[in-house]
Structure 1
Amino acid sequence: MKVLFFAALRETLQHEQVELPVALPATVALIRAALCEYFPQHQQNLNAGNALAAVNQTLATEDSEINEGDEVAFFPPVTGG
């Protein structure tokens, strides 16, 4: 499963994407947990309050299902003013 990172999260993790050995179907929560294991020093940056998830370019919840061929991305919440 390929996972993409955007914006400041990409800079923090110093990765544009990673390949995770996760069985599908999965959920965003399962992918997030796998990312926290892959990047243990960045768990705070990857938690649900600090990183949003999108599946196929649509904002996803923790229980959103991920299937073969889906695009999964994580990015920080964006604020403007």
Structure 2
Amino acid sequence: MTIHVQVQFFARFRETLGIESENLEGSFATVDAVRQYLLQRGGVWEVLSEQSIMCARNQELCSLSEPVEPGDEVAFFPTVTGG
């Protein structure tokens, strides 16, 4: 089933990719399926392959295994560390 999701990128991801959001359509069952779709682009998109990546669905922190529904907002951002 093809669904539409809006993807948001924050912090260093936004800077590296040069965009803050994108609308996607595809067969996405989970947040990780959205990420894998983006990773297939290669190049700068490899930034989303970080093991410590954080994500949210509809502005709620979630795991990569979180299911997605049509019209969802998915966000990716790097782990924030403080000192």
Structure 1: unaligned runs, 5 residues or longer: none
TM-score (norm 1): 0.83
Is the Cα–Cα contact under 8 Å of residues 45 and 51 in structure 1 kept in the other structure? Answer: no
Please tell me the root mean square deviation across aligned C-alpha atoms, in Å.
1.6
Q: Deviations over 1:9-55 (max 9, x none)?
A: 1000001112222135x2011001111123x1134310151431111
Query: Which of 3, 6, 12 lines up with 1:2 in the alignment?
Result: 6
How many percent identity over aligned positions? 41
2:40 equivalent in structure 1: 37
Structure 1 residue runs of 4 or more that deviate by more than 2 Å after TM superposition:
none
1:65 equivalent in structure 2: 67
Bigger shift: residues 15-24 or 61-70: 15-24
TM-score (norm 2): 0.81
1:12 equivalent in structure 2: 16
Structure 2: unaligned runs, 5 residues or longer: none
Is the Cα–Cα contact under 8 Å of residues 27 and 66 in structure 1 kept in the other structure? Answer: yes
In structure 1, what residue type is equivalent to 2:37? A
